[in-house]
Structure 1
Amino acid sequence: MNNNIKNMNLLNLFLAVCMTVSACKGSEQENSNGNPIPENKAARIYLTSADRTYAFSKLEVNFSSPGDLPVPAIKLDPGQRFQTMYGFGAAITGSTCYNLLKMTVADRAKFLKNTFSPTDGMGYSYIRISIGCSDFSLSEYTCCDVPGIENFTLTNEETHYVMPILKEILAINPGIKILGSPWTCPRWMKVNNLADLQPYNSWTSGQLNPAYYQDYALYFIKWVQAFAAEGISITAVTPQNEPLNRGNSASLYMGWQEQRDFVNSALVPALKSSGLKTTIYLFDHNYNYDNMGEQDDYPARIYESGVDDIVVGAAYHNYGGSRSELLDIHGKYPNKELIFTETSIGTWNNGKDLSVRLMEDMQNVALGTVNNWCRAVIVWNLMLDAERGPNRPGGCKTCFGAVDIASDYKTLSFNSHYYIVGHLSAVIKPGAVRIGTTGFTDPEVVSSAFENPDGTHAVVLLNNSTESKTIRIDDGKDSFKYAIPAKSVISYLW
């Protein structure tokens, strides 16, 4: 072979290799090598499918050239701006903490990092804890079971279970927000009803005696201050978990008039005089107000009477009614915030079957609430054990956690709630603004778009079709397309 031919063959080989490398680099779907995605080169993707072929799999997609995009496009419209997002997460109950502390230190550290780290994990950014016990506590208690507010003190459940776990989480994600909600006031503050005002020494039901409004407000202040003394800042509180539910293992009935009076006359003044930055969300119960007609529009009725700015909005659960109630309340009081604070999976709704729950929970709980003006989404127990506990008599015996841990306190199974929160928190950062979109529409595709504080964009999308769908995302500057598998959830960040 003469040198000219040899050199020509070498040149052709070189060009062929270059073309191959270029084609690989431009591939629309590649597994991440674990390194940071080059700026302005690609979008990060997280993908979960209902058949678990993908389970929060980290992928990436390169930006495409304009001539390579003949597919339907979702176009971002940053000029159309909605609510600012606060965060996404789960409840850290006494039961959750008990299970976490049964794990080895190394296993727990790994799980918490994977869940809460904003750089190396899902970035869960908002959690809910109970003020006193809940139906997923190790016992029934409040922080003042001996009559007299001067007897307030934290219990073993806070100091040996909840606080240690919160401190481990805060070491991973110092900016995480925390919401506190009581299931009941101390029993010595309860009466049978507001007419007879007879003592009601029961964990379940009863009403708050108006004579103790000031003491109960001080109870909130002491609780927030006790956590602050341990380096745990409480972002917000609700006056009562499920105020229309008399039947929980620990509960207190508080109609809208009672909550109005307690908040306006006692809780707001106490918080303001304390100097704490903690705010208040009203209600914290179901979309349908437990079918009590006189309680319809519960938070709006309180707003009508006038509330201080420290009352920032209302919280909702989804155990009854339709999320359209969020739109109704927002329409009546658009200056007040909405957050979603509780939902459960369990034996009654195929809670461990991802093929059923992933699509339903992503559509109704995650994107359904966010697209209806909620600024935060919090699911119920982060972790329960193989027996769906520990739990309390009279509480939920059929609930699963977002994560369930086996009897070896090592083997974990991840349920729909773990994934749907992760798909939000991994790409939508605290302070992000939900923005509009135009273009592609499909009844089997639900999406939401965001602009993060650092200027990055995020899109969370579900494909409820039985077929893969190739969709282009276009922010006006960069575009990329991706074949989204059937029955799957995908999150983009670029």
Structure 2
Amino acid sequence: MKRKNNNTMIYTLLLSCLMTATSCNRDSYTPSAIDSIKDNGDITIYTTTNTRSQDFSKGFIDFSTKFNMSPNTITLDPTQKFQTMDGFGAAITGSTCYNLMKMTQEDRTKFLTETFSDDKGMGMNYIRIAIGCSDFSLSEYTCWDKEGKENFALQSEEKQYVLPVLKEILAINPSIKIMGSPWTAPKWMKVNNLTDLKPFDSWTSGQLNPKYYQDYGWYFVQWLQAMKKEGIHVSSITVQNEPLNRGNSASMYMTWQEQQAFIKQALGPQLKAASLDTKIYAFDHNYNYDNIADQNDYPVKIYNDAGAASFIAGAAFHNYGGDKAELLDIHNQRPDKELVFTETSIGEWNEGRNLEKRLMEDMREVALGTVNNWSRAVIVWNLMLDNDKGPNRDGGCQTCYGAVDISKSNFKKITRNSHYYIVGHLSAVVKSGAVRIGASGYTAEGLIYTAFKNIDGSYALVLLNDANENRKITINDTKNHFSYEVPAKSVVSYRWAN
């Protein structure tokens, strides 16, 4: 009799656990994947956990019909408006294009569709390319390596690799924005310093000879027009990639004083004379200005000359030194100028292939961190490298990983790293032209989020839960609300019609 009662009690307890699915074996309980996700519904949801138990999983839930009394409510405020968003994406370097072109056409189209398609994929919509070579090109070159205007031409790397890939991406998503950045001017334009003005025959370091300002401005115009002839509209440029970095395999040192003079005297007027609508972004380097004291606030110092500032849309930043709070500081000094985040990398130094760590950190510091500090765009470095971190060159980064890595043995197997997910979680729900809006209410350690209103009127919210437990969160847009149990250590993106 006693044994029977014990069996009954055990059965009742087990049945209770199965029915509530809350206290028993909670670590393995994934209600967001099993109970609440459907094949269609009012809200589209994408979820990625840092263990890949959910790997950019797509699902749907409906608005709640119950009265909302949840203390864990995030409320959107569409009347509070911040910056307009341009887009999210990655760099399409020579190395990336080489790897993509080694894939079969079928595999490449599948991957590019998953990455760039607005309705069949992540919808990435902003990419960065080099004007000439970068440190992830197959060789060092510019498009004007021999003096004489007749010698300007797009080079074999662009024709064989970069242009075909760009055209395939544009066929998938014609609204892609493209940014161009030079790593160096042609060597014949470079000098050792601005005092001696001696020729500097090296791809690495050197400075732009002021006597070639007009020629270099012409070079930008010619490159933009050459790309346009190929059917590629470049919507923005930066003047110099990492202007305070003398050490890259292809590089050129350019102080704010030099950049201000070049933009004011040559680049700005020449783009205007050519009727090009390409935006110019200043700086394009680290938050901490590489600890060079007189270069602090680099873009603001350029803006202080009204003539130069009139040609400049804003400033671009990288995160290899300093803190994202610099974006807010620059915005507060010049709220009339735009901010874009244009480069970050993962590699051996930061456990770049450790998704459990990097997904959380990169979402916090790069994706949501820059957007919540007024950045209009988030662009990570190489979209694709092979699993040997290449192709790479001496003098460039030989310890970098791509947003995705592809197997060098067969160019088939793809490993998606943190940068692919953090950009994709934004681009999937936040479209070009969206406005970041207010979102407040529920706060908790490790919880970061930001909200947007798209131009079609739909709302989007991207959320990071960097906690060791699931959190049931309610989202309220003042008209409708819904609840979703956000998995531990995950990133979730939502989009719904207003």
TM-score, scaled relative to structure 1: 0.92
Which residue of 2 is the match for residue 81 of structure 1?
81
Q: Is it true that 1:118 corresponds to 2:118 in the alignment?
A: yes
Contact 2:302 2:309 in 1 (8 A): no
CA distance in 1, matches of 2:71, 2:42: 18
1:294-318 per-residue CA deviation (whole Å, 9 max, x = no partner) reads 1000000000111343310000000
Aligned equivalent of 2:288: 288
Residues 1:410 and 2:412 are matched in the alignment? yes
**Following the alignment from structure 1 to structure 2, what is the Cα–Cα distance between the partners of residues 178 and 32?**
36
- Amino acid in the other structure paired with 2:278: T
Q: How does 1:76-475 map to 2 (within 5 A)?
A: 76-306=76-306, 307-407=308-408, 408-475=410-477
Deviations 1:168-187 (A, max 9, x none): 00001001000000000000
Distance 2:35 2:310 in 1: 48
Quote the Cα distance in structure 2 between the aligned partners of 1:121 and 1:29.
24
SS in 2 for 1:67: coil
Q: What is the CA–CA distance in structure 2 between the aligned matches of 1:301 and 1:28, rounded to whole Å? A: 55
Report the Cα distance in structure 2 between the residues aligned to 1:398 and 1:182, rounded to whole angstroms.
22
From 484, 487, 491, the equivalent of 2:486 is 484
Does the 8 A contact of 1:451 with 1:457 survive in 2?
yes
Residues 69 and 472 in structure 1, CA contact (< 8 A), matched pair in contact too: no
Distance, in Å, in 2 between the alignment partners of 1:177 and 1:150 is: 29
Distance 1:437 1:385 in 2: 40
Offset from partner CA, 1:69-98 (integer Å, 9 cap, x none)? 535100000000000000000000000000
User: Residue 367 of structure 2 contacts residue 423 of structure 2 at CA under 8 Å; is this kept in 1?
Assistant: yes
Cα gap change, 1:314 to 1:68, in 2 (>3 Å): closer
CA separation in 1, counterparts of 2:149 and 2:358? 44
TM-aligned CA deviation for residue 475 of structure 1: 0.3
Mapped contact 2:68–2:481 kept (Cα < 8 A): no
Mapping of 1:15-54 within 5 angstroms? 29-33=35-39, 37=40, 41-54=41-54
Secondary structure in 1 aligned to 2:67?
helix
Task: Assess if the C-alpha contact under 8 Å between 1:361 and 1:416 holds in 2.
Answer: yes
Aligned with 1:357: secondary structure? helix
CA distance in 1, matches of 2:70, 2:170: 46
* Secondary structure, aligned partner of 1:311: coil
Letter in 2 for 1:332: Q
Give yes or no for contact 1:101–1:161 (8 Å, CA) kept in 2.
Answer: yes
Report the CA distance between 1:68 and its aligned residue: 6.1
Q: In the alignment, what sits opposite 1:8?
A: none
Check conservation: 2:300, 2:333, Cα contact below 8 A: yes
Q: Is the 8 A contact 1:77 1:437 kept in 2?
A: yes
In 2, the alpha carbon distance for the partners of 1:91 and 1:380 equals: 5
3-state DSSP of counterpart to 1:63: coil
Alignment partner, residue 11 of structure 1:
none
> C-alpha displacement at 1:391, in angstroms?
1.0
Q: Percent identity?
A: 62
Structure 1 counterpart SS, 2:313? strand
AA of the residue aligned to 1:433: V
- Asked if the contact 1:244/1:285 (under 8 Å) is kept, the reply is yes
Amino acid at match of 2:449: S
Letter of the 1:480 counterpart: F
Q: Which amino acid aligns with 2:493?
A: S
SS in 1 for 2:121: coil
Specify the code of the residue in structure 1 equivalent to 2:393: R
- C-alpha displacement of 1:60: 1.4
- 1:266 Cα offset (Å): 0.3
**C-alpha displacement of 1:29:** 4.6
CA shift, 1:27, in A, is: 11
Which whole-Å deviations, capped at 9, do the CAs of 1:92-114 have from their partners, x for residues lacking one? Answer: 00000000000000000000000
**Alignment partner, residue 70 of structure 1:** 70
Distance in 1 separating the partners of 2:94 and 2:69: 51
Matched residues in 1 for 2:333 and 2:310: separation?
A: 17
* Preserved CA contact (<8 Å) 1:71 1:470: no
- The structural deviation recorded for 1:214 is 0.3
Whole-angstrom CA distance in 2 between matches of 1:342 and 1:300? 20
Aligned residue pairs total: 463
Is the 1:28–1:482 contact (alpha carbons within 8 Å) kept by the matching residues of 2?
no
- Secondary structure in 2 matching 1:387: coil
Q: CA deviation at 1:67?
A: 3.2
CA distance in 2, matches of 1:157, 1:30: 49
Q: CA deviation at 1:392?
A: 1.6
SS of aligned partner of 2:376: strand
Equivalents in 2 of 1:53, 1:177: separation in Å?
Answer: 32
Unpaired segments ≥5 residues, structure 1: 1-25
Structure 2 residues without counterparts, runs of 5 or longer: 1-31
What's the CA shift for 1:443?
Answer: 2.7
Cα pair 1:246 1:252 within 8 Å, conserved: yes
Letter aligned with residue 157 of structure 1? E
| Matched position secondary structure for 1:66 | coil
State the shift of 1:150 in Å.
3.1
Equivalents in 1 of 2:440, 2:53: separation in Å?
A: 30
